[in-house]
Amino acid sequence: MILTTEAIVLASQKYGDSSKIATLFTEDFGIMKAIAKGSYQMKNKFGSSLQVLSYININFYNKPEGHLQLLSNAEIIRPNFNLSKSFEHITIGFALCETILKTLDEHYKNSQIFLKLVQSLNLLDSLPQYPFNILIKFLLDLAKILGFEISIINDESIESIHELIDKSSSKKINHNYTLNIENGNFKITNFNANNNTIEQDLLKKIYEINILPISEIEDIEISIPEMNKIMNLMSKYYHFHLDKYFYLESMRLLLQ
């Protein structure tokens, strides 16, 4: 039986002399691997649809789980070609795909996560000035969907965060915050003694990225050192809650 679904191409590799095996995150079937026979030849029916980061519609012959699916056709919905114009933006795109591969089991279906990935790549393809924000937003949203939400606002942080955002406030606040890896809460601290601690200004940026729609986060300035701190926290947090190693290799060159 031939089935149809939308998909994001997470990875693609040559198979044999003329074919490709694509790792796809599909809307209706989760992550799956499929072979596209003849797709490595100069002239083939798949064209450029199996390029990594492409948003496509596929038809495939359904086989039992654990088997390599057979693609019969793939058509581009959105190629996301603009990403190749910027090393920074395409690296974030790869990091989004790597996040899916490192957090979700094969065939785990979640249309909400799929939609967020599509939205993230769509915005990233418009080449916003601060593409880091898109990855941060995705990681925050994904943690919430998977059941281990990071609580940016809690009893210990809500008052100071709100005062910081309120420009009319005359009260000067200079707290640092430490993330509790186990419960996802930020706690006020007066020292910066460990790698789980960030400054108040950075917590405010994370808070804004968390609460704003994805279409409104592109102007929040995140520096490389700030992104290093955020990714360090995210790596530890995801590692703890998934009980497996979580480090985005795609980000290594950007965060050196």
Q: Kindly give the pairing relationship between strand 2-15 and strand 55-61.
A: antiparallel
- Rounded mean pLDDT, 34-43: 80
Report the CATH architecture of 1-79. Answer: Beta Barrel (2.40)
Q: 144-176 b/e with 16+ CB inside 10 Å = b?
A: eebebebbbbeeebeebbeebeeeeeeeeeebb
Q: 123, 117, 135: which is closest to 83 by C-alpha?
A: 123
Cα dihedral sign for 165, 171, 176, 182? negative
Furthest-apart CA atoms within the chain: distance in Å: 69
pLDDT at 236 over 90: yes
The pLDDT, as a whole number, for residue 255 is 82
- Integer Cα distance of 183 and 165 in angstroms: 25
**Chain centroid to CA 212:** 16
- Rounded mean pLDDT, 235-252: 94
Contact 82, 71 (CB under 8 A): no
- Integer Cα distance of 227 and 133 in angstroms: 9
The pLDDT, as a whole number, for residue 152 is 84
**Tokens of residue 52, six digits:** 């990594």
Alpha-carbon dihedral angle through residues 250, 242, 112, 157, given to the nearest 10 degrees: -90
Domain-wise residue ranges, the chain: 1-79, 85-256
Which of 81-90, 129-138, 153-162, 185-194 is least confident?
153-162
pLDDT confidence band for 14 (50 / 70 / 90):
confident
Per residue in 147-190, pLDDT (tens digit) is 999 988 765 555 555 555 554 455 556 688 889 999 999 888 76
Instruction: Kindly give, in sequence order, each residue whose CB lies less than 8 Å from that of residue 97, ignoring residues fewer than 6 positions away.
Output: 8, 10, 11, 25, 52, 53, 250
Half-sphere exposure of 107 (CA within 13 A, CB side): 8
pLDDT at 85 over 80: yes
pLDDT confidence band for 67 (50 / 70 / 90):
confident
- Please state, rounded to an integer, the average pLDDT across all residues of the chain: 88
Q: What CATH number labels 85-256?
A: 1.20.1440.120
Contact 195, 178 (CB under 8 A): no
- The more confident residue out of 153 and 32 is 32
Which of 58-62, 195-199, 214-218 is least confident?
195-199
- Rounded mean pLDDT, 24-41: 89
The amino acid occupying position 121 is L
